[in-house]
Amino acid sequence: MPPPFRRPPDWVVHARIVVPLLLIGLFGTRGAAHAQPDAPRALDHWAYLLVVVAVLSLLARRRVPWLTVAINTAAVATYLVAGYPYGPILLTVPVVAFGLAVRWPRRQAVLAVVGELLVVLAATVLRVTAHDDGGSWTDLAAAWLVWTPVVAAAFALGATAQVRRESWAGVRAEQARRAASEEQLRMAQELHDVVGHGLAVIAMQAGVALHVLDREPEKARESLEAIRTMSRESLDGLRTELAQLRAGADDAPERRPLPGLADLDLLVARIRAGGVDVRLDVDAGLATRELPTEVSAAAYRIVQESLTNVLRHADAEQASVTVRSGDGELVVSVTDRGQGGQPAGDGTGIRGMRERTAALGGTFEAGPTADGFRVEARLPLEPEPEPAEQVR
């Protein structure tokens, strides 16, 4: 697995821009001077010093952008007013414009770039006026008609980069919020399923124990043992989810293995121990077939919640659990013969089962029948992948 991307140090980022500009400035200025023999003033060490200052001012563009603008503007304007040949020092102006557009708020960056352009324009006008430069006013105007769009283009590229960076930041923040919301929903469902089922079984076994306490002490003891076992399992599940909630992503404890179809026998045995005759019918082929973990876990939770509702609300003595596979889907059906019926509408448990099914791209139905209540979920054995979102 490739190592995670790390942003290079600041000095590397600066070197990528400053070093090439510095080399171009130092060596290109002499070539520019040879091409302009009529320049008002020949190159000297002061000219090279101004080139170095203009380029090195870019080092402060990330931390102190206003200082970069001030130093660069002063160096370029001084170079032009002094009458040195036009040269690579002017390349620093669009670089400054790009940096301001990337880092500063739009309005503030526009004002700073326009201000620098006006100062540089004034410097060129003063150069022509003071030194009687060989170029005409027409040539100066033509040069600015070309140079201004260059600076504007650099500014536009920087603004685009800023918008793109902000968009990426917004996408990452939204993805983080969505992941947190999905994790909270998962935890809520797990807590409801684990603790709710545990309490329902405990209440059922406690009722059995009270009913047979005097007549069948051994039966009461079995119920109390079941209560103790169920209490431990529920507490373990509660502690695990609370630890996940408290811990960060890096130090979160390892989750317990998710239950699946292989655990249905134990689940049904607990319900039977409470006096509900549950008939379990699972396709023989599913015992040897490796199902997707999320599908097997969802099927288990749906059966668990359905049987828990039978214990809580149905006042039923019989229930049936059927698990079939075919046509690329797993069909889970739970029916009971109860007089009280399960809660009308979308209770928390039914809503949770519907959400689990929908998350896998399946369909869910729940409602009363002629003699009880029926829950049916159809889960695709190969859940459809979510469409990838591309951000450009």
pLDDT one-digit tens code per residue, 208-261: 677 677 777 776 777 777 777 777 777 776 776 677 666 654 555 555 667 888
Q: Does a structural domain hold residue 372?
A: yes
Q: Please give the residue range of the domain that contains residue 63.
A: 10-135
Contact 355, 379 (CB under 8 A): no
Backbone phi, psi, residue 380, to 5°: -60, 135
What is the tens place of the pLDDT at every residue in 111-127? 998 998 999 989 888 88
pLDDT for the residue numbered 46: 93
Q: Is residue 279 part of a domain?
A: yes
Angle among Cα 325, 327, 328 to the nearest 5 degrees reads: 75
Domain boundary among 79, 112, 135: 135
Q: What is the pLDDT of residues 68-91, one digit of tens each?
A: 899 999 999 999 999 888 888 988
Last residue within a domain, chosen from 135, 161, 177: 135
Strands 316-326 and 277-282, how do they pair? parallel
Domain assignment present for residue 158? The answer is no
Three-state secondary structure string covering 255-296 = CCCCCCHHHHHHHHHHHHHCCCEEEEEECHHHHHCCCCHHHH
| 392 located within any domain | no
- Can you give the pLDDT at residue 213? 75
Residue 213 domain flag: no
What is the per-residue pLDDT for 7?
56
Closest CA to 291 of 387, 383, 186: 383
Domain assignment present for residue 222? The answer is: no
Task: Provide the domain count of the chain.
Answer: 2
- Stretches in the chain below the pLDDT threshold 70: 1-14, 132-136, 180, 182-197, 200, 204-205, 208, 211, 219, 237, 240-241, 244-257, 274, 287-288, 313-315, 338-348, 383-392
In a domain? residue 96: yes
The pLDDT of residue 5 is: 45
CA gap 366, 277 in Å, rounded: 21
pTM: 0.50
SS (H, E, C) 75-141: HHHHHHHHCCCCCHHHHHHHHHHHHHHHHCCHHHHHHHHHHHHHHHHHHHHHHHHHHCCCCCHHHHH
